[in-house]
Amino acid sequence: MDPARELDACTFLPPDLDADTLCEILVSRTDTDPLVCEALAIARDAHRLHTRDEGAPYIVHPARVALSLVATGQPPHVIAAGLCHDVFEDAPGHAHRVVALGREVADLVEALTDDWYEDYYAKILGAGTEACRIKIADRIDNLRFLHFTTPGKQTRYVRETAAHFPELVEHASSPQLAGALIALLEWHLIREASARAAAQSTRGDVHGP
């Protein structure tokens, strides 16, 4: 189930398609931009052995992030950074290829990489509007499929989003991205509340009056 299909604020997001189709759409919608094509090649190689929690090849995630950035009118270097946003952290052996894409791309990817030694969200805010937009697009896609993860991860992720993303949204100045993030966050909060209510009802039935 993809909640984005049900939410009006998410209509600009790419559909949940297979990896090859998503990549073909991305190349087409960016007019075979050389920077985007090279970033896509790097991302495909870097994540070749990785999978998502929902079981899909990992490349579907950066491809959907990139397509969300395309839909909101971001320039090629931002789209390229969106494609490579997990490379430094998850596939450092390919980091030199990202650096070769140019400083604009590499600086954004570095800002989006959690190095565990500094305030991650402060680093993104300090990197500027483009970094905030990529991070929001990343979070949007992860929220779309968060319900395929463990309940504990879902709770932590929703709370983290509610705590840290309002400031990112303010700095991003992108109504489309903000609308999708808020809609998906609310979807999860409602789902979480329903699960709690069901659990309480079940406990009441077990213990009786």
Q: pLDDT per residue over 67-85, tens digit each?
A: 999 999 999 999 999 999 9
Number of domains within the chain? 1
pLDDT of residue 208: 57
pLDDT at 3 over 90: yes
Percent of the chain with pLDDT over 90: 87
Nearest in space to 181 (alpha carbons), one of 164, 198, 194, 197 = 164
Residues 147, 148, 151, 157: what is their CA dihedral angle, to the nearest 10 degrees?
Answer: -60
Nearest in space to 28 (alpha carbons), one of 78, 72, 63 = 63
Q: Which domain holds residue 173?
A: 3-207
Q: What is the pLDDT of residues 148-167, one digit of tens each?
A: 999 999 999 999 999 999 99
pLDDT at 46 over 90: yes
Q: Name the residue with higher pLDDT: 47 or 201.
A: 47
What gap in Å lies between CA 139 and CA 128, rounded to an integer?
Answer: 17
pLDDT of residue 204: 61
Residue 149, domain CATH? 1.10.3210.10
Q: pTM here?
A: 0.93
CA atoms within 13 A on the CB side of 73: 5
What gap in Å lies between CA 18 and CA 137, rounded to an integer?
Answer: 19
pLDDT of residue 96: 97
What gap in Å lies between CA 144 and CA 136, rounded to an integer?
Answer: 12
Token pair for 147: 């319900």
